[in-house]
Amino acid sequence: MGLMPPLYQIALRSSQSLLLAIVFLAVSVQSGIAAIQFDVFAGYDSIVREAAWFPVACEIHNDGPPFKAHIEITSGGFGSDQIRRIPLELPTNTRKRIVIPMFASSVRYGPQWDARLIDDNGKVRAERLGIQAKFASYDALLMGALPRTFNGMPTMPNIKPNRVELKPQAARLQIEQFPDSPIALEGLDAIYVNSEKAITLPMPQVAALIAWVRDGGHLIVGIESAGDVSSLPWLQQFLPVEISGVANVAIDEAIGGWLGGELTESRQKAPTSAFAPKFKNLQSDNPYSTLPRDTTFNSTEVPIVRVKVKDGTAIFSAGDSPLLIQANRGRGKISVLTFSPEREPFRSWKNRPYFWARLTGLAPDLLLTTDNSNYGGASTDAVFGALIDSRQVKNLPVEWLLLLLLVYLIVIGPFDQYWLKKINRQMLTWITFPAYVVIFSFLIYFIGYKLRAGETEWNELQIVDILPRGDRAELRGRTYASVYSSENSHYQLASEPMVSTLRGEFLDLYAGGGRDGNRLRVDQTGNSFQAEITVPVWTSLLYVNDWFKQESLPLIASVTLEGNATRLKLQNLTDRPLTDLRFAYAQSMYEIGNLEAGETKTILLDPTKGTPVSAFVQQNGGSFPHAVGARRNAFGDDSARHLENRPLVATVVSLGKHLAGNQSNFQRFVSPPGLDISASLDKGDAILFAFDPGHAYAKPINQFTPKRVRRDSLLRLVIPVKQL
């Protein structure tokens, strides 16, 4: 018994062991938390363009215990009511990269975002606050690049207007952060890819790149070596050339002649930027024709790959060796450089920035004039809001509002004084005055109830671009959905399994500073989403679902030129009649009428019978600014805030470039990339518009059953023109 330690020693040792265990556990937990690496990169090389989608790349490295979590991204400034979340699992010793499409709605006044990594218990495991990016105006030219070397990055020239946000820029893209969604690429006008870097692109990113091109993007491929192309089957099929050998040639005269040549679409075949600004004082001079000669560049031969052109056009050549070949791919185009623009002497060429400027379609006026009068504009989202917002919402006319105010002032003033004086009870004003306030409050509520109370309503208009691929088609859709709520409520939305994402209404650059005005939470899972929106009582809110999917062709069309006439052949492949068909070609608009289910129709169009596109757009879109302005106001004439005729309004917005004309900034409109397809007319293609009433090409995203529902679609098909 004498050898046993005292009881207090046993208790002390037990306490020390327990304390050590607690300390070890705390250190382990803390080290597990500290082992999380969370990096966030916003935009294209930290550049975002307003009114466009852009990628946010997140890299997470977990060296600690496994856990489930989600990434939560919110705006650090305006629009903080909008949350985008991405669920993920993080096993021990794993690194994950996720690219999330975000919409640049509030970037004009300092773009920044907050990102948090939150586990299933709601605990913030890591965060990055105040993530900033550089702001590019909606009408600036923004190019992405996957060069072989850092020094091989394209460069852009300085412009005359003194506006930093309007300066053309080239953003260096990273393979690891390259989006796998074509929607996240839509903030770029063009992408340059070196063939050596193309080898390292994963197939999901390749699919996104091709879909982006077919939807109107401009892909520029610089061939580093013939072996790069032969090792990539997808690139062989996508390029308009076949590799036939290699050679050394002098390219200075060919490039210089093209660079200083006439700026015409028929000769250059260069894309027209969807964001090219419109200046009041247009210049007709060619800013490239007076560039100085570079003697070093002129005296050196350059290695090129010899090619055979399969389709497309050789824009300029050195002798019989094409150096730049361009071909259409869907609504977009591909340019092939048979030499490497990252090697000498081109890399040190003094005129290299101007080469990239002309190739990517920079508006020449930016190099000629300091006029910067074009600044901002109204949002085309507001036009769709005026078109599909619920008609159950009625405004109180201003005259009635003033009358109600006048009656209120008379009652609480002269009437109250006269009545109380007559009954000799002036002290009762302490009772009558609050009573008047209560009575008029109930009266105002009753008037609001009568004007705005109604049934839950879902109105939807889909703008669907048909991109044919054999006997099937890729459909690029924009679903504009307006929801009216009869109560303060939350509503669930979800997309079908396809490339799809959701945003709120983009407010105009004057009333809302360009910010996104609606409250929503989007859970992005892969390339589809689930969302929850919050709609206040008696209001209509607009949401936009951007999506891609593959489906059978709904419509076939071909255009052939026969002398001075244009032959249009149409075939409706659906089991429904298509209505309000319109055909645009050579800057003229033609009314086609209807096309019955399964009907094939051939029409010979007389060019003298068409309406100029600019006149058609300005005549039918002249009421847009007034409707958008009235929609912002809570009072006034109800009819002023609404637009009618869905197929006509959607067609006009599709050619919105012609809306500006000589109007002021307050009458111009800002469109997200790809909505305005006027550039297809500028390239010489034709456009067919067809309205499909009562039908939707993407499954409904509303996961609730409204009392009132309407769904319509406008089909848009860009048609290459054939010459007999």
Find the distance separating the first CA and the last CA of the chain, reported in whole Å. 116
Summary mean pLDDT of the chain = 85
The 3-state secondary structure of 311-329 reads CCEEEEEECCEEEEEEEEE
pLDDT of 533: 95
pLDDT of 265: 39
Contact assessment for residue 325 and residue 312, using Cβ atoms and an 8 Å cutoff: yes
Alpha-helical regions (H) of 249-397: 252-259, 265-268, 295-298, 352-359, 380-388
**Residue 487 banded pLDDT, cuts 50, 70, 90:** confident
- Which structural domains are found in the chain, ordered by start? 20-136 (2.60.40.10), 137-372 (3.40.50), 381-388+456-723 (no CATH), 398-452 (no CATH)
CA distances for 493 relative to 104, 481, 529, 610, 704, angstroms: 21, 11, 8, 43, 8
* Residue 257 or 15, more confident: 257
Mark residue 83 as left, alpha or beta (left: phi above 0; alpha: psi -120 to 50; beta: remaining): beta
Reply yes or no on whether the pLDDT at 419 is more than 70: yes
Stretch 392-413: mean pLDDT: 72
Reply yes or no on whether the pLDDT at 512 is more than 70: no
Sheet of 555-562, strands arranged across: 600-605, 565-572, 555-562, 721-723
**Residue 412 banded pLDDT, cuts 50, 70, 90:** confident
Q: How many CA atoms lie within 13 A of 65 on its CB side?
A: 10
DSSP annotation of 610 reads: P
pLDDT of 510: 54
Enter the tokens of residue 716. 């848009």
DSSP annotation of 299 reads: T
pLDDT of 394: 64
**Residue 409 banded pLDDT, cuts 50, 70, 90:** confident
Reply yes or no on whether the pLDDT at 367 is more than 60: yes
Least confident segment among 20-34, 74-88, 343-357: 20-34
Residue 195 parent element (H or E): helix 195-198
Contact assessment for residue 334 and residue 345, using Cβ atoms and an 8 Å cutoff: no
pLDDT single digits (tens) 644-676: 999 999 999 999 888 865 444 446 788 899 999
pLDDT single digits (tens) 35-57: 799 999 999 999 999 899 999 99
pTM recorded for the entire structure = 0.86
Reply yes or no on whether the pLDDT at 478 is more than 80: yes
Enter the tokens of residue 221. 């491929």
* Residue that is written with structure tokens 């007319």 in the block: 681
Please tell me whether residue 679 adopts helix, strand or coil conformation.
helix
pLDDT of 421: 77
pLDDT of 21: 46
Q: How far apart are CA 307 and CA 328, in angstroms?
A: 18
Closest of 70, 69, 76, 39 to residue 57, by C-alpha: 39
How are beta strands 528-535 and 134-136 bridged, if at all? unpaired
Closest of 463, 458, 472 to residue 698, by C-alpha: 463
Q: How far apart are CA 677 and CA 547, in angstroms?
A: 17
* Residue 492 or 562, more confident: 492
Contact assessment for residue 548 and residue 182, using Cβ atoms and an 8 Å cutoff: yes
* Residue 581 or 440, more confident: 581
Q: How many CB atoms lie within 10 A of CB 675?
A: 21
Reply yes or no on whether the pLDDT at 454 is more than 80: no
Q: What are phi and psi of 356, to 5 degrees?
A: -70, -35
DSSP annotation of 415 reads: I
Helix 646-654 × helix 613-621 angle, to 10°: 130
Contact assessment for residue 555 and residue 570, using Cβ atoms and an 8 Å cutoff: yes
Q: How far apart are CA 127 and CA 106, in angstroms?
A: 21
Residue 632 parent element (H or E): helix 624-632
pLDDT of 280: 32
pLDDT single digits (tens) 589-622: 999 999 999 999 999 998 888 999 999 999 999 8
Reply yes or no on whether the pLDDT at 63 is more than 70: yes
Reply yes or no on whether the pLDDT at 279 is more than 50: no
Stretch 682-687: mean pLDDT: 92
Reply yes or no on whether the pLDDT at 632 is more than 50: yes
Please tell me whether residue 356 adopts helix, strand or coil conformation.
helix
Q: How far apart are CA 68 and CA 79, in angstroms?
A: 27
